[in-house]
A and B are shown apart, each in its own frame.
Chain A
């Protein structure tokens, strides 16, 4: 049995430890905010936090997660008011929106560790997240808008599911 914490709640999983977290979230838990985009850690749509760091849930098995703490887009903020989410809305970043949960999770992790990132730091942190609508200019602008507002406790632990 694998136990880990998901959005503040303890999980006990007795199935195939090779199952990627992505499919556990989406198909077993119904947490569909985390998206499938490539299945090979190439696009970042499935980004969640494990112990506060961004990971690709499509390439992270449940076996890898024993004892760890996972936060998904649903758990990033109880009321959707994480500074990154707010900045995203203020700048109307999204187009189709599909990749945006992954983008937001990557951006939130970046700003937690680097409150005022340079353009190069933004490129480094966000390069793994593809947006086919190409909302990149606004992603960059929204990260700068949210800069300095993300604190460790809001970014990594999340609230109630």
Chain B
């Protein structure tokens, strides 16, 4: 295919089917929902909503080339491929004639473009089908008109329209111009393909649309963009979050050949949200000169209110908070009485440190300011947030900011925050409008991130004389994402608590979840799977600890705790958020959770004997409206060296659009889960991040990755069933399944992450 992301060609290509329809921007397409429901869910509840006007997304050229516009960020989930597969399938296009182009950032025009929360397909699959079906029907109508026959007699057949009675046939390209002039069919008149006739949806052998470019070095990420007359910049930022530059000497930096200018960037007051941290930028003729110049700066900082942030002391604070009652997030029955009268009472505390997303492409962008307009070429998950943030720092209207969305060289949540892009914009303005490429070094990335939270999860459980669980008390303590954006936030938000803390479907008569206070001292942000990571780690570890105390098989105990198959309204578990999905359509389905547990257990050979020093662990978790269960098989040798011969992960995300990419996401999720469990830690001392690069912030490399990862996809009943997310839900069960396996293999229970050398002690 060789599709490239070049917005430069966008207009020319869209002149096919899109000719004359550019004025549609912002208008209500036929897909807009009537205002008859009080509360919107899913994509409809997102800013900008979901758009399904084919004229926005499909262009057919006279030679038959179909160009499909993708408005989601491609960051490895394969969305540009899957997106096009759906539209092409419904319009019965020939895949070899399909090209994919990337939309500019413009939510008024394209609908919500924020690519996070595992929702590209979950929110857009049905809209993509409508886009494809509408385009096909417009092409069919154009052919019917040309032939003078009723449209009902025209069928689409793989890039052609056919009139069977007369044997006539027209290619899509031959009727494209006429089709473009037709009105878009109303939603209720759309006729969808019989899923049995899908050519692409559900097929596992579709090559990535960006595969050729990626394997030949032609793919363009934000860091790769080059503009004429461009300068290169790096920034020295306050080493402590909220700190300020108070004195600087730049003479030596300016002597470095290639250094053009040094620019002061203001520090935004806390909480600073998406705004840059400020500091001193070095602008140069190339990145190397900018880096050398930065080394020569003499800087004095005032470190501000977070100068005392120390991870060792902070952990003690979190533990103290977890040992006292806190704000009640969910309560049923009488936990205190039940714990007192329990035959067995077990308490465990789990700790998981900050993590950095550390995408292989560090944050980078190019900006060019011209008068009161700004053009951005950036690696971003959130083009609209980028527009708004750039507009804010430049004091220009958001409409004046054009965002060209490049391929994203890994996001994992880091690139939902456009601080680095705002820096590029400020620097272009400071350089009188010359284009400026702003690059974070790896150290900048680790030191100036929006980190995964740090948390202590304290669980207390009671078993009756028969080993049945009668009480469950979970205290979750973690600085909140909202603290990055609003002052005084000390509790996890509804979305954080709804990621596996409150919404446990356990058959336990007495259950309470509390959220004691935690103050934030750094920028907390989204990290792939977000709060599901600490919650699932603690909850699923504790389930296995309870099983051990009860003398039960962990898998059987887990299934009993889940109980019979039933649909639970998440609100009945104090989860009023539910990933912003309809609580009825997206009820918590314990049957599906049971299903993945049973499947993972069966496929893994659960219960079959293993040699000494080996063990299996199981964990299951619902997140992003999907269900995942993993069985991790470990071997720990006499020296405490851990290897992971095999992982089985069963996954139920409802209908699967692109099975190959779902498998790829789960393979990656398994290893990223292993990575954070075994190695991941960002820590602070005197307010500063202690890790500088991949030597001190190690991530899993090929030799430590599980050799045999088996992904088991649960079949969906039908394509009209609601879709779950894919990018994130594979991660949360991995750490607890791994720790449960280590316990099975060695008898050692690890409750503090990362594992690092704890097995060697």
A binding-site residues for B, Cβ under 8 Å: 15-16, 19-20, 23, 26-28, 30-40, 42-43, 45, 72-74, 76-77, 80, 85, 88-90, 92, 94-101, 104, 119, 122-123, 126-140
Contacts and interface: CB of A to CB of B under 8 A. Distances in A.
Interface string B397-416: 00000000001111110000
Interface of B: 74-78, 207-208, 210-212, 214-221, 223-224, 226, 232, 257, 286-288, 291, 358-362, 407-412, 439, 441-442, 660-661, 664-665, 667-668, 670-672, 675, 693-695, 699-703, 705-707, 709
Given A92-B207, A95-B665, A96-B410, 14 more contacts: A30-B226, A33-B216, A33-B217, A35-B223, A39-B291, A43-B694, A90-B207, A95-B664, A97-B219, A101-B214, A101-B215, A129-B701, A132-B359, A136-B705
A138 B208 CA distance: 14
A80 B360 contact: no
What are the 5 closest A-B residue pairs judged by CB atoms, nearest first?
Answer: A33-B217, A98-B409, A95-B76, A96-B76, A134-B671
Contacts of A85: 215-216
Nearest to A33: B217
Nearest to A77: B216
Nearest to A28: B286
A26 B286 CA distance: 9
B705 A134 contact: yes
Contact of A139 (B216, B441, B702): B702
Interface centre among B217, B224, B407 (most CB of A within 10 A): B217
20 contacts: A16-B257, A16-B288, A37-B361, A37-B362, A38-B442, A39-B442, A77-B216, A80-B212, A89-B215, A92-B78, A94-B208, A95-B77, A95-B664, A96-B359, A96-B408, A129-B702, A133-B360, A134-B671, A135-B664, A137-B707
Nearest to A20: B288
B254 to A, nearest CB: 16
A132 B705 contact: no
Contacts of B667: 134-135, 137-138
A38 B667 CA distance: 24
B358 A97 contact: no
A64 B361 CA distance: 26
A23 B76 contact: no
A133 B214 CA distance: 14
Nearest to B211: A89
A39 B705 CA distance: 24
Given A74-B217, A100-B214, A134 B668 contact: yes
Contact of A136 (B221, B287, B439, B671): B671
B75 A96 contact: yes
Contacts, number: 185
Contact of A19 (B218, B288, B660): B288
Contacts of A30: 226
A121 to B, nearest CB: 11
Contact of A132 (B220, B224, B286, B358): B358
B207 A127 contact: no
B440 to A, nearest CB: 10
Given A23-B288, A94-B210, A97-B409, A136 B702 contact: yes
B22 to A, nearest CB: 32
Contact of B361 (A15, A96, A135): A96
B229 to A, nearest CB: 13
A25 B702 CA distance: 27
A94 B358 CA distance: 17
B360 A98 contact: yes
Contacts of A94: 76, 208, 210-211, 214-215
B289 to A, nearest CB: 8
Contact of A73 (B210, B217, B668): B217
Contacts of B257: 15-16
Contact of A72 (B217, B220, B359): B217
Contacts of B408: 96
B385 to A, nearest CB: 20
Given A72-B217, A137-B667, A42 B695 contact: yes
Contact of A96 (B409, B693, B695): B409
A88 B215 CA distance: 7
